[in-house]
Structure 1
Amino acid sequence: MGTALLLSSPAALPLLNANWPHWHPTVRQTAENLRRDLRQNLAQSANQPPNPPDAPLPTEAFAPFAMAVDREMRRRLDRFLTGLERYRHHPYQRDIDDAPTVWCEGATRLLEVGQTGKPVLFVPSLVNRGYILDLSWRKSLLRWLAGLGGDAAGGGGIRPFLLEWGYPGAVERGYSLSDVVAGRLIRALEATCARAGGPVTLVGYCMGGLLALGAALRRPDLVSGYVALATPWDFHADDAAVAQRTAALINPFDPVMRMLGELPVDAVQTLFATLDPLLAYKKFSRFAAMDMASDEADDFVALEDWLNDGVTLPSAIARECLTGWYGENTTGRGEWRVADAPVQPQALRCRSLVIVPARDRIVPPASAAALGTALPGATVWQPSLGHIGMVVSGGAKAKVWAPLREWLLEGN
C-alpha cells in the first residue's frame, strides 16, 4: 500500500493540471491551493497576469513541478526500501530465553518468571506470542515486575506467570473459545494457583483480557484480582461500520479455513494491516534514519520480529471472534457465552483495573473503556500511549509498569 501510494503520484499529476473536479474532500483544498501557487509562480517568472483558475498550465511551466514530484517520490521510496532492507539484515536476535516451563498441555506452556512475590498470571492474545511482555533484556514488563532483567530498578515484589498459547496443533485446531477458556485456561489457572499456594491475579492483554474475564467468572475462587490491558469489549462503541467491515474480511478466507482448519498467519496479518495500511511504509522509513548500532534500532528489530512471529487462529475461534465479536458485538450486547454461560462483567466480584491506552489504534479506546464501565467498581486508567507502546515504549515504565505494580501489591 505504501509503495502504491508513492507510485500513484505521477499518475495524479495530469489530473491536477486538468483541474480534476473529483478530488476527495480531504485533499480538494490542498489541490486547489497547489494549482493556485503554480499559476502565481508562473505569472511572476513570466511577468504576466496569472492564467484563469480553470485553465491548464502550459507544459513548460508544469514540467519542473512534475520533475520535483518524481524526485521526491523516488527519495521516499528509497528511504522506505532502505529501512526494510536494513531490518532484514540487522544482526539483533532476542537476547533472553523464555522463563522455565512449569506446566504444559498440548501446545500451551505456563512460564514462571519469578520465584517470590505476589503471584500474577498474564494471559496474552491467541494471535500473537506472549513474549511481548518479556521482549528483551531491557524491555521486559514481567522481569521488571519480578525485580529481574537489565533495568530492574524500582521493580520487584511480583511473581509473574506467563501463559504461552503456542501454535495450534491437531487438537487445538478443533477448539472453540469455550474450549480455550473453560478448558485449557482454567486448567492453567488451576496449575498456577497450585504452584502459588492460593488465588492469583489475572492480567489479560488485548484479546487475552476477554479470555481472562471468562475464566475469572467461571472460577472466582481462584482469582483475587482482574486487570484488563487494552482489552476490547464494546466493538461497536467507536464505529460499528468499521467493525462490521472487519468482520466481513473473513469471507475470502473461508475456503482456506475449511481446508486447513485455521486462519493462516498471513491472513491474520492482513486483517491487522487494514487498521493502518501505511504503517509499514511509515515505520520502515523511520527505521532507515536510525543508527543501526543503537539501542533504538535493537528495540525496533525486537518488536518487529515479535510482530512477524504470529500465530494461526483455529477456524471456529476466528469465526467467533470476527463474526461474533466484531460483526455482531456479542460482548458489548451481553450475548457472548462460554460453555453456555454468559460472560457478564457485572458479575465479577474481585477488585479490577482497566487500562485504556488513549492512543490505541488497534483497540479503539471507547471499546476498551466500555469494559471499565461494565465492571463494578473498576479502576480505569487512560495513559497517553499506544496499544503496544503501553508495554514496551520508553514511557511504559512510568505510565503503566510502575502504577500497575503498585496496584497489584495493594491487593490482599
Structure 2
Amino acid sequence: MPENQPRQFHRLGPRPLPLHLATANLILLSSLAAWPSARHASLPWNPLLQPRLDALLPALASVDPTDFSNALMRAGIARLAAMTGAMLRYRGHAWRRDLPDPPVAWREGGSRLLSYAEDGLPVLLVPSLVNRAYVLDLAEGQSLARWLPKQGIRPFLLDWGDPGQGERRFELADYIARIVRALRHLRQLCGRPPVLLGYCMGGNLALAAALQSPEDVAALALLATPWDFHAGGAHHAALVQALAPAIVPPPAADPDAPPPMLDVDVLQGFFWALDPLTALKKFTLFGAMPEGGENERRFIAMEDWLNDGVPLVGRVARECLLGWYGENTPPRGAWRVGGEPVLPQHWRKPALVVLPERDKLVPKEGAAALLAQLPQADRHDAPSGHIGMVVGPRAEAGLWQPLAAWLSAAGRNQDTEQVGQPPRRRRTAGRTGGKAATKVQA
C-alpha cells in the first residue's frame, strides 16, 4: 500500500462514532421533553427564534398533545434512521483512494517531501499536523498538488507522517525546524527559494519557518490560517479553556519515557464540540444523494480523510490548545519559537492570506487578523468552507485558479528582483468590493 494512502480500509467513521450517535439521539429526542413547555411559551427562547415561536403558538393551542407527541416521536425516529442508514451506506461503500505516490524528494524522521513535477516555480505545501497531508492530493479531480504542475508550478508536499519515537518528544519548534531544513533542501535542489504555502495549522508553522529563514522563502501563502483564536469564535475559546485541561496529555512521569500523545478520537471529540450537529446534518444530506454520482464520491473521499487522523504529540498539544486557543498567544506576540516571538510584521516579502467565507473551524475574523500584521499581504476570499475550499466542487474556480495566478506573479516578482530591475505592478488574488486589487511591491 502506498505510504500516503489512508491507513484504514475498514471504515471507523464518523469518529468518534458513539459520540455522534448519542448526540443525534439526545438532540432529536429532546424535542419530546421541550414540547410541553414550548406550547405554553415558557422556554427561554433565543430572541432570534421568538417570532417563529409566536407564529406557531396559535396552531399548537389546537393540537392534541398526545397526537403531537406521537408525531414528534415518529419524526425523530425517521431522522435517526435516515442518519444511521447514511452512515451504513458510507461505511460499506466500495470507493477507495487509489492515487499512486509521487517520488520522494527528501526524508527526515517520519516525514517525506513528495515531488509532483520536475520543473516550474517551486512551492512547498505544508499541511496541518492533525490530519493527513493528502487533503492536498485527495483524489482524481480533487488534488491541488496534481493540478498546479499544469500551471507551470512545481509543488512539493510535506507529508508529516505518523509521529515516531523521535517525534514523540517534539515541540512546535522542532516541526518548524524541519520545515526550514526542507526549504533549504529545495533551494539547493531547484536553484531558487521556493514559495511557502501553509494550510490551516500548517500556515502557523509556515509563517514561523519563513521568519526564521527568510532567505530560503520567496513568498508566503497562508490558507485558512488561524491567528487570533478569540476573534469571531469566542465560544471556541471558551470550549477549549473548559476542555483542554482535561484532554491535554500531562507530562510523562518518567523523564526518560516519551510524553503521551493526544489520541485521534479525543481530537475528533474536540472538533465535535465546536458543532455537535455536524454528523446529523451532513449524513442526512449524504443519504439524499443519488448513488454512483460525483457528489457521493466527493463526500466519501472527504469523510475518509477526516477520519484518517493523526495523533498529536503531547508537548505540541499543550502549546496549541493551552497556548494558542486558551491564552491566544499568537496575536499578542506571546507565541515564541526558540525563545523568539513569532511576529508577522517582520515578514517583508509578498504574502497571501486566503479566507474561506464559510469556515466553521477557523473563524474568518481570526484568520483575517493576519492581514493587519503582514506588511505586504494580499487577500483572497474563497467561496467555500475550510475543507471545501481545497477539495470541494468549487475549489478550482474559487481557490486553485486565483492561487496559481498569485504564485506565478510572486515567482515573476522574484525573478525581476534577482536581475535588479524595478518591481512590476501585479494584480492580487484578493478582492476589494468584488474587484481585484492592484499593488506595487516595494
Shared fold per TM-score greater than 0.5: yes
- Deviations along 1:81-135, one digit per CA (max 9) or x if unpaired, are 1110100001000031232211111111110011121100000011011110100
Residue 220 of structure 1 corresponds to 214
Partners of 1:199 and 1:224 within 8 A in 2 = yes
Partners of 1:346 and 1:376 within 8 A in 2 = yes
- Deviations along 1:296-337, one digit per CA (max 9) or x if unpaired, are 111110000000011111111111111111111110101111
Cα distance in structure 1, aligned partners of 2:198 and 2:35: 49
Q: Secondary structure at the match of 1:188?
A: helix
Structure 1 unmatched ranges of 5 or more: 43-60, 148-155
Partners of 1:247 and 1:323 within 8 A in 2 = yes
Residue 417 of structure 2 corresponds to none
- Deviations along 1:19-56, one digit per CA (max 9) or x if unpaired, are 362333355554454332132x46xxxxxxxxxxxxxx
Cα distance in structure 2, aligned partners of 1:20 and 1:272: 33
Shift of 1:290: 1.2
Residue 333 of structure 2 corresponds to 334
Cα distance in structure 2, aligned partners of 1:29 and 1:3: 27
Cα distance in structure 2, aligned partners of 1:33 and 1:381: 41
Shift of 1:372: 1.5
Cα distance in structure 1, aligned partners of 2:86 and 2:125: 33
1:96 to 2:95 alignment? no
In structure 2, give the amino acid aligned to 1:185. I
1:188 to 2:182 alignment? yes
Determine which of 162, 167, 172 is the counterpart of 1:167. 162
1:24 to 2:45 alignment? yes
Partners of 2:239 and 2:273 within 8 A in 1 = no
Residue 50 of structure 1 corresponds to none
Partners of 1:90 and 1:292 within 8 A in 2 = no
Please give the TM-score of this superposition, normalised by the length of structure 1: 0.89
Residue 296 of structure 1 corresponds to 295
Cα distance in structure 2, aligned partners of 1:368 and 1:160: 24
Shift of 1:10: 2.2
Which structure is larger by alpha-carbon Rg, 1 or 2? 1
In structure 1, give the amino acid aligned to 2:65. F
Shift of 1:293: 1.1
1:7 to 2:6 alignment? no
In structure 2, give the amino acid aligned to 1:173. R
Cα distance in structure 2, aligned partners of 1:20 and 1:237: 34
Q: Secondary structure at the match of 2:386?
A: coil
1:35 to 2:47 alignment? no
1:70 to 2:80 alignment? no
In structure 2, give the amino acid aligned to 1:23. P
In structure 1, give the amino acid aligned to 2:188. A
In structure 2, give the amino acid aligned to 1:127. V
Determine which of 105, 121, 127 is the counterpart of 2:108. 105
Determine which of 119, 131, 142 is the counterpart of 2:145. 142
User: Where does 1:389-408 land on structure 2 (aligned, <5 Å)?
Assistant: 389-408=388-407
Deviates further, 275-284 or 1-10: 1-10
Partners of 1:145 and 1:158 within 8 A in 2 = yes
Q: Secondary structure at the match of 2:276?
A: coil
- Deviations along 1:239-294, one digit per CA (max 9) or x if unpaired, are 44531431331222245774861111111111111111100111111111112211
Cα distance in structure 2, aligned partners of 1:113 and 1:145: 9
Cα distance in structure 2, aligned partners of 1:254 and 1:317: 10
In structure 1, give the amino acid aligned to 2:99. I
Shift of 1:14: 3.3
Aligned residues: 383
Identity rate of aligned residues, in percent? 46
Shift of 1:64: 2.0
Partners of 2:349 and 2:376 within 8 A in 1 = no
In structure 2, give the amino acid aligned to 1:98. D
Deviates further, 121-130 or 63-72: 63-72
Cα distance in structure 2, aligned partners of 1:11 and 1:145: 53
Residues 304 and 375 (structure 1 numbering): CA distance in 2 closer, same or farther, change over 3 Å? same
Cα distance in structure 1, aligned partners of 2:268 and 2:186: 31
- Deviation beyond 6 Å, 4+ runs, structure 1: none
Cα distance in structure 1, aligned partners of 2:291 and 2:240: 36
Partners of 1:140 and 1:392 within 8 A in 2 = yes
Partners of 1:3 and 1:281 within 8 A in 2 = no
Shift of 1:160: 0.3
Cα distance in structure 1, aligned partners of 2:241 and 2:134: 27
Q: Secondary structure at the match of 2:331?
A: coil
Residues 334 and 7 (structure 1 numbering): CA distance in 2 closer, same or farther, change over 3 Å? same
Partners of 2:122 and 2:155 within 8 A in 1 = yes
Cα distance in structure 2, aligned partners of 1:258 and 1:64: 58
In structure 2, give the amino acid aligned to 1:196. C
Partners of 1:258 and 1:315 within 8 A in 2 = no
Partners of 2:102 and 2:116 within 8 A in 1 = yes
1:203 to 2:197 alignment? yes
Shift of 1:400: 0.8
1:380 to 2:379 alignment? yes
Cα distance in structure 1, aligned partners of 2:217 and 2:70: 65
Structure 2 unmatched ranges of 5 or more: 1-22, 254-258, 415-442
Partners of 1:174 and 1:261 within 8 A in 2 = no
In structure 2, give the amino acid aligned to 1:217. L
Residue 362 of structure 1 corresponds to 361
Cα distance in structure 2, aligned partners of 1:265 and 1:273: 12
